[in-house]
Amino acid sequence: MEEFKAEKVIDEFEELTKDAGRVQRETLKKILEDNASAEYLQKQGLNGRTDPESYEACVPLVTHPDLEPYIKRIVDGDTSPVLTGKPIKTMSLSSGTTQGKQKYVPFNDELLETTLQIYRTSFAFRNREFPVRNGMALQFIYGSKQFKTEGGLFAGTATTNVFSSSQFKTTMKAIESPCCSPDEVIFGPYFRQSLYCHLLCGLIHHNEIQLVSSTFAHSIVYAFRTFEQVWEQLCADIRDGVLTKDVTVPSIRAVMSKLLKPNPELAERIYKKCSGLSNWYGVIPALFPNVKYVYGIMTGSMEPYLKKLRHYAGDLPLLSADYGSSEGWIGANINPKLPPELATYAVLPNIGYFEFIPLRGSAEEDRQDKIQSSFESKPVGLTEVKIGEEYEIIVTNFAGLYRYRLGDVVKIAGFHNMTPKLQFVCRRNLLLTINIDKNTEKDLQLAVEAAAEVLAPEKVEVVDFTSQVDKLTDPGHYVIFWEISGEVSDEVSSECCNCLDRSFVDAGYISSRKVNTIGPLELRLVRRGTFQKILDHYLGIGGVLSQYKTPRCVNPNNSMVLQILCSNVVKSHFSTAFG
């Protein structure tokens, strides 16, 4: 195996970013040349031109539904050049938690290679600040089942397509982060059994574990919440060298039996460590003494889990992983020392062609209008973005997506050489709107954070949350669903409700509330385990824990999730904040 040379990776990154404008033009040229025979591109009248100006003039901005007819043909087995020059053999199936609906996006070797380039780049920078050596990673990663579409293509979630490639394993070894769990565990059919065995593998290798990670930080929090419940069973398994009967998958049992040997001394040590913890604070370093950091995507919809993650991580640094999507990766975190709340992602100018639709005007209201407006500013190129401004990002990748609206809003935090460093702001989809009010995922998150402060003195926290616009009442109103970690008095929960209502600072919302064209905000507390049921529902329809993001706003036609929420309400309050 070729040795990983961090300095070489960093030098290459410096070269690419110093000349980001040129690299972008070349990347676009390469994408258009490689795929010149694709039916989709042929239709656009480029006639062999590959410059950004012609590209922008000929090729429309699209969203997933625009491409669905093409993608469907590929999924059904059309091997002619539809979206790409070379036929697509694999599809990524998005988890559908952000859009509420699963969708296929093409996956190919080029996309895999760009993913690994991102991993290598951020590792090179990370390892300068937080070196790991000859270690293992406790990775809470889960492969979904890869299946064959009717047309004979392989399909799985994007993470599964990456995890199951041989290049992924080679790269993880090269960057000193091989997963401590065997493949049978990663690709097991039941995520609870896989999670249990990930924890067990981690404990068996406790001294070698140098980092704890997952794709999205939610899975790490989820894993240690589970640990709180199963730790005694884990100790028993280690003591006796026998895997609990709850793990039933024969291939997992077989592989775990090779790893598990009776070790009463280790079991006792873990037992003592756990018993000595106060409310599980610092459980990660307590169990894994050589861990250098905790690693996973921690921005955007993952921010609400940071508090709990910090609690479990004690004094270990939390490092946000990179920025990307099933449609392709975008940027690497090259400043790992920044706390996750400030994490930025430097765009790799050779992994795709990127454009940015300006969203932000001078005033906040203007930005909100632009987020919604159908009259949009013209997109600008990667090197033309301005620091402090917000943009919607448009992706052209090596796997058949041309000028594809990802639906994410990013802010330019600065530049590394000529390439921008992006801060993730939110999904562009508006979450909550009744009339002139406009609140995004980020606004909801901030309101929930503010109201959660009311719970803090009670030592109770918000486990998870989502929202809904209820237009069946007259006037319509916002409904926020909360699962909290303990009991609180009616007085406290009603104050949380008022605080939520007051914390939406959007001018349209406040003015509508004042004149009651939006009714009092409703807080509904749901039973413990409700969000687990929502997760189970998504896993049941083919999602995978590695890519799971709690839906922050439930669409009225998402009847299953609404039913889960509504049938688990234990109490509700209407705000009195506006009299």
Q: Which of 408, 443, 501, 506 contacts ligand AMP by CB under 6 A?
A: 408
421 or 524, CB closer to ligand AMP? 421
Instruction: State the minimum distance, in angstroms, from the CB of residue 558 to ligand AMP.
Output: 16
DSSP per position, 440-451: -HHHHHHHHHHH
Phi, psi of 335 (to 5 degrees): -120, 70
Contact of 541 with 99, CB cutoff 8 Å = no
161 binds ligand AMP (CB under 6 A): no
Question: What is the CB neighbour count within 10 angstroms for residue 176?
Answer: 18
Binding segment (CB under 6 A) for ligand AMP, from list 53-61, 125-133, 293-301, 346-354: 293-301
Q: Which of 155, 223, 406, 412 contacts ligand AMP by CB under 6 A?
A: 406
Instruction: State the minimum distance, in angstroms, from the CB of residue 96 to ligand AMP.
Output: 8
Instruction: State the minimum distance, in angstroms, from the CB of residue 413 to ligand AMP.
Output: 13
Q: Is the dihedral angle over the CA atoms 13, 15, 16, 17 positive or is it negative?
A: positive
Q: Which residues, 6 or more positions from 269, have their beta carbon under 8 angstroms from its beta carbon? A: none
Q: Which of 282, 304, 324, 358 contacts ligand AMP by CB under 6 A?
A: 324
3-state secondary structure 7-32: HHHHHHHHHHHHCHHHHHHHHHHHHH
Q: For residue 477, give the nearest of 434, 525, 448, 508 by alpha carbon.
A: 434
Contact of 175 with 211, CB cutoff 8 Å = no
158 or 220, CB closer to ligand AMP? 158
Residue number with the smallest Cβ distance to ligand AMP = 300
297 binds ligand AMP (CB under 6 A): yes
135 or 324, CB closer to ligand AMP? 324
Strand partners, 409: 392, 426
User: Structure tokens of 106?
Assistant: 């093409």
427 binds ligand AMP (CB under 6 A): yes
> CB-based burial of residue 407 (10 Å sphere; 0-12 exposed, 13-18 middle, 19+ buried)?
middle
Instruction: State the minimum distance, in angstroms, from the CB of residue 387 to ligand AMP.
Output: 19
95 binds ligand AMP (CB under 6 A): yes
329 binds ligand AMP (CB under 6 A): no
219 binds ligand AMP (CB under 6 A): no
Number of residues that bind ligand AMP (CB under 6 A): 16
Q: Which of 213, 326, 440, 575 contacts ligand AMP by CB under 6 A?
A: 326
End-to-end C-alpha distance for the chain, whole angstroms: 69
Instruction: State the minimum distance, in angstroms, from the CB of residue 408 to ligand AMP.
Output: 5
Binding region for ligand AMP (CB under 6 A): 94-95, 98, 158, 297, 299-300, 323-326, 406, 408, 424, 427, 547
